[in-house]
Amino acid sequence: MNKQNAATSHRQKNTEKSHRIVSTGVYYRVFFGLMVLLILTVAVAFVDAGPWGSAIALTIAIAKALLIMLFFMHVWYSSHLTQVFAAAALFWLGVLFVLALSDYLTRGNQWTTAM
């Protein structure tokens, strides 16, 4: 009985969470953050950051993508199951990259000499 109640309240919490209306202030702040990151990444691209240039550009891109996913796409406010589904997409993307690059990055430069 107690267990059932706990399960019900958990479900209610989840559905309440998924239907929470996000205030427009959150959207405006996220948008402001995205524009600041855009200006930052373009400015950094003109500066000589050596080998760090690409790492900075990609880190800023990931930060922008996370802001959009969590707040504009409501992942932050979604049920745990939806969050698992969203994370699964990124997990499989990670599998694709790790397995493929563990091959290409350990071949030396043999495969590039053809070009």
Partner 1 sequence: MTTHLEHHFDNLEQQHEAATLGMWVFLATEVLLFGGFFLGYAVYRMAYPQAFADATHHLALPEALPWYLKSIFLGTVNTAILLCSSLMVALAVHAAQEGKNRGVVRFLVAAIVLGVLFLFIKGLEYYLKYEEHLVPGLTFSYEGANPLVAQIFFSFYFVGTGLHALHMLIGIGVLAVIAWMSARQHFSAEYYTPVEMAGIYWHFVDVVWVFLFPLFYLMGLHR
Name the site residues for partner 1 (rule: CB under 8 A).
15, 18-19, 21-22, 24, 27-28, 30-31, 34-35, 38, 41-42, 45-49, 53-54, 57-58, 60-61, 64-65, 68-69, 71-74, 78-79, 81-82, 85-86, 88-90, 92-93, 96-97, 100-101, 104-105, 109, 111-112, 115
Least distance in Å: CB of 92 to partner 1?
6
Helical segments of 46-68, H only: 52-67
Q: How many CB atoms lie within 10 A of CB 74?
A: 15
Long-range CB pairs of 83-92 (<8 Å, 24+ gap) are none
Residue 2 vs 4, nearer CB to partner 1: 4
Q: Quick check: 37 and 64 in contact, CB under 8 A? A: yes
Least distance in Å: CB of 62 to partner 1?
9
Least distance in Å: CB of 85 to partner 1?
4
Least distance in Å: CB of 41 to partner 1?
6
Residue 5 vs 110, nearer CB to partner 1: 110
85, two tokens: 């589904």
Residue 9 vs 54, nearer CB to partner 1: 54
Of 108, 97, 107, nearest to 58 by C-alpha is: 97
Of 72, 74, 45, nearest to 58 by C-alpha is: 45
